[in-house]
Amino acid sequence: MDPTLTVRPFEAADAAPLTNLLHAAYAELGAMGLNYTAVNQDVETTRDRALSGQCWVVEQAGQIVGSLTISLPPSRGLRELTAVARERNRAWLNQVAVSPSVRGRGIAGHLWRLGLTWAAGRHAESIGVDTAIPADHLVRLYESWGFERVDTIHWPGKTYDSVVMTRPVTPKDT
């Protein structure tokens, strides 16, 4: 990863700048008509989501330019939507975001490896993720990380169906 970037755990004081990053990172999805929560969520929602699992932020020159949250177990709302999220020892990726200004530098992949190692260290047997079906580039990204499509869900209030994807955690992931 670029040496001008630093990765660290989320702190509660990061909620406002992380909210700004999420709005910027998800703006293109909003422009596609996909009303992801991160398109316009408030600071309290950002704080609550980041603190619901392990969240890392990536900084460059004091600005948050990337983030990933992983939870174990998945959120209650997700567990209500799909049996896939209720499976034993399943972690879940949430709100992966990279600023458009620094995309293509391996930030998402670096954060993914941190999350995978974190989950493996907590005895997760698999990891899940869900994203809007029309967000082809995100579906392809998760497939490149070893995820496979296993279900479809519809979050209340969303304009799209989401694909649910999972991948096993293997001994080489630790």
Cis link prior to 73 (omega < 30° from 0)? yes
Alpha-carbon distance of 72 to 93, in angstroms, equals 9
pLDDT digits (tens, 9 = 90+) for 67-84: 999 999 999 999 999 999
pLDDT for the residue 173: 81
CATH of residue 39's domain is: 3.40.630.30
In the chain, which ranges are continuous DSSP H helix? 15-31, 43-50, 76-81, 107-121, 136-144
| DSSP string across 25-46 | HHHHHHHTT---GGGT--HHHH
Question: How much is the pLDDT for 2?
Answer: 78
Enclosing domain of residue 85:
5-173
pLDDT of residue 171: 84
Q: Which two tokens stand for residue 31?
A: 């422009």
- What pLDDT is recorded for position 172? 84
Amino acid at residue number 77? G
| pLDDT tens by residue, 113-166 | 999 999 999 999 999 999 999 999 999 999 999 999 999 999 999 999 999 999
pLDDT at res. 121: 94
Model-level pTM greater than 0.85? yes
> 21-76: per-residue pLDDT in tens?
999 999 999 999 999 999 999 999 999 999 999 999 999 999 999 999 999 999 99
Taking the CB of residue 80, how many other CB atoms lie within 10 A of it? 11
Give residue 67's identity as a one-letter amino acid code.
S
Cα–Cα distance between 58 and 60 in angstroms, integer?
7
Structural domains in the chain (count): 1
